[in-house]
Amino acid sequence: MLSLTGIQADIGGSRILRGFDLEAAGGQVVCLMGRNGVGKTTTLRTIMGLLPLRDGTITLAGEPLDGLRTDQRALRGIGYVPQGRDIFPHLTVEENLQIGLVVHRRGRASDAASLERVYTLFPVLKSMLARKGGVLSGGQQQQLAIARALLTQPKLLMLDEPTEGIQPSIIDEIGDTIKRLKSDSGLTILLVEQYVDFCREVGDQFYAMDRGTVVASGPISDLTDDVVKRHLQV
């Protein structure tokens, strides 16, 4: 579904992504891991077209993404939940969700059906439609951000540290949601995550990054304590 080859990207004249490959096959949960500042978010931003690709190729379902704007990449089927969630705090939950629907204009009946699907995944949102996004708990905001991304009808969902700063019971719910999205809709998920046990719980494959490149990868069963100690632990 997603294929990165030799990708390089710069920020402010410094090389941040130093050329690496990554594959996410259809219906898989691929964990992109690594310590703070190694380039995980930069990778997602580059895939999304928020940062120019200096070298290498990015393809989605076999089609290269070069030259496409961020909104065009969203239309091609990439849903992106940024680190820190980026919901609109002064808009209501319902208004935040409407923003996801804007990506594809499909008419009221189809929108209502899409909304019902996300309310089934996140019942808490349905009970909070009139609340301002900013008053929700961190976990509810994360659920709102995932729901909004799902309303863009992605083939590939990219989540940037969805467990960061979230209480354990909600982390479990988010893990269940990821598994359900995989089993029910065959969604491909690229999950940036530092929480190792969470990756072991939901992931199929992992890539460990260090200083802008991939230093270990494989099926999640290869994410041994030794790999964790060498590449991931602070």
Q: Interface residues with ligand ATP (CB under 6 A)?
A: 11-12, 16, 34, 36-42, 83
Closer CB to ligand ATP, 36 or 169, in the complex: 36
Closest by Cα among 198, 188, 97 to 143: 97
Of 40 and 148, nearer to Mg ion (C-beta) is: 40
Q: Using CB distances below 5 to 8 A depending on partner kind, what does residue 34 bind out of Mg ion, ligand ATP, none?
A: ligand ATP
Minimum distance between the CB of residue 24 and Mg ion, rounded to whole angstroms?
18
The entry of Mg ion, ligand ATP, none near residue 100 (CB within 5 to 8 angstroms by kind) is: none
The Cα–Cα gap between 62 and 120 comes to 32
C-beta closer to ligand ATP: residue 125 or 196: 196
Tokens standing for residue 159: 């989540």
Gap between the Cα atoms of 150 and 115, Å rounded: 10
Between 111 and 160, CB nearer to Mg ion: 160
Instruction: Please choose which of ligand ATP, Mg ion, none residue 39 contacts, taking the beta carbon within 5 to 8 angstroms, the exact cut-off set by kind.
Output: ligand ATP
Residue 41 binds Mg ion, judged by CB under 5 A: yes
Toward ligand ATP, which CB reaches closer, 83 or 92? 83
Which residues within the stretch 82-121 sit at the binding site for Mg ion (CB under 5 A)? 83
Asked if residues 141 and 61 have their Cβ atoms less than 8 Å apart, the reply is no
Q: In the beta sheet, which residues pair with residue 34?
A: none
Residue burial 117-154, b: 16+ Cβ < 10 Å; e: rest: ebbebbebbeebeeebbeebeebbbbbbbbbbbbbbbb
Token pair of 181, please? 């999205």
**Helix or strand holding residue 206 (H, E):** strand 205-210
CB of 70 to ligand ATP, least distance (A): 16
CB of residue 39 to ligand ATP, shortest distance in Å: 4
Q: How far is the CB of 159 from ligand ATP (least distance, A)?
A: 12
Task: Give 11-43 as a 3 state SS string.
Answer: ECCEEEEECCCEEECCCCEEEEECCCCCCHHHH
Q: Choose from Mg ion, ligand ATP, none: what does 13 bind? Cβ within 5-8 Å by kind.
A: none
- For binding to Mg ion (CB under 5 A), which residues are involved? 40-41, 83
